[in-house]
Each structure stands twice: as structure tokens, then as C-alpha cells.
Amino acid sequence: MTQDEIKAMVARAALTHVPPGGIIGVGTGSTVNHFIDALATLREGIAGAVSSSNASTARLRGHGIRVLEAGDVEQLALYVDGADEIDPRGHMIKGGGAALTREKIVADLAQFFLCIADASKQVGVLGRFPLPVEVIGIAANRITRRFEAIGGRAALRQGVVTDNGHPILDVHGLVITDPAALEAEINQWPGVVTVGLFARHHAHLCLLGRVDGVQVLHF
């Protein structure tokens, strides 16, 4: 099985968690693209979706799935999204696809976060994948120096502007042993829009794809 086939497998497995008649929170990325394609088979059985990116919105609409604005929804029963890394407690690094801010907004609306990922995303400690941080442009240098002070090397992601019109810093070299504390700390730095640490909005369940099937992780 290729990595892409494994992603498709976990995406299909996520369909059993979709509440009939519900509005589904939908993330962003290659694994979620498979989920959106699979969700199309349930199109008549759901009320619609709230999307975390322009790319996911376009794909959902392309399948004829109704897309609602996050601001028009009070609560979602389920949010389905991928991850760049997931630790043994369901804490994640996200934002490899630059959609971290809207992903966190939609995750915040949801009562349940279902992570779909291939096994390469499973780590003991977060930080091998560079931590994405969406920032206000004029604060990027100051935030870079703040990361230096805690042992991180921040690099501006070249040629990328988020759906919100901001740059992204990718921070290398962090060993994130306390994701909740680091997320809270970075959130206080002026100019940070969103840090791609999902500790407060951790996964409740992860469907982890392996060559021999889908492993279910509860957090």
C-alpha cells in the first residue's frame, strides 16, 4: 500500500463517525481531500459542512456538498482533520497546509475532534516537524527572536500567504514536552495569529493508517 492509499483508507474509515443529518467540520490537506471525496457518497445524508480553507471549500462544493460559514454555526458534533504530528496524548502539530488558523476556529466549534492520519505522523514527542505559526508580517522578526530564545529556528515559509493574508513561520529544533504550556505561551506573543500546536484542541480519537489496517487511538 502506498502512503496515499493508506490516507484514503483512514478517510473512508472516518465515514462511520459522521452523524446522520449533521453539519460536519472539515479540515484541510491530502488526507482530508480523501475524506471529502468519501463524504460525497453521504451527501444526501448530511446537512452540510463547515470548511477550514478555501481549498477544502472548493472541493466540497465540487461534490455538491453545501458549505456553511463558520460564523453561522453555533456548534458542530464532529470535526475531521489530518495532522503533521500526533503525540501519545492526542496533541498535534498542524499547519503544514497553511490552514491552521481556520482549522483551530472550526475545531473550537466542534465537540469532537477526529484525527485521520497515516502512521508516519505518530511521534513520542512533538517537534520533529517544524512548528507552523501564522503571524502578522511586521511582527515576524520579533517572533523569530523570541523563538531563538527558547531554542527554535524560525524560517519564513517562502511563497506562502494564508487564506487570511498572513505569512507563516516554520520553527525548527523545538522539543515540545509540554505542548499545552508552549501553546499558551506563544499565544501571548504580540503578532502571533495562530500557533499550529493543537493541545487545547487535541484529538479525541485518531484513526491511524498502517499497511495492515486502521489503528484506533482514544485520548
User: Which residues belong to the active site?
Assistant: 103
CB of 157 to ligand 5RP, least distance (A): 11
The sign of the dihedral angle between the CA atoms of 154, 157, 161, 164 is negative
CB of 83 to ligand 5RP, least distance (A): 6
CB of 143 to ligand 5RP, least distance (A): 19
25 exposure class (CB count in 10 Å sphere: 0-12, 13-18, 19+): buried
Tell me if 143 sits within 8 A of 135, measured CB to CB. Answer: yes
Closest CA to 116 of 11, 202, 9: 11
Closest CA to 109 of 21, 205, 24: 24
Helices and strands, number each (H, E), in the chain: 6, 14
Tell me if 118 sits within 8 A of 209, measured CB to CB. Answer: yes
Question: What residues line the site for ligand 5RP (CB under 6 A)?
Answer: 27-31, 81-84, 94-100, 103
Sequence-distant (6+) residues with CB within 8 A of 69 are 50
Identity of the residue, 47 or 161, whose beta carbon is nearer to ligand 5RP in the bound complex = 161
Identity of the residue, 190 or 202, whose beta carbon is nearer to ligand 5RP in the bound complex = 202
147: amino acid identity, one letter: F
The sign of the dihedral angle between the CA atoms of 13, 17, 23, 29 is negative
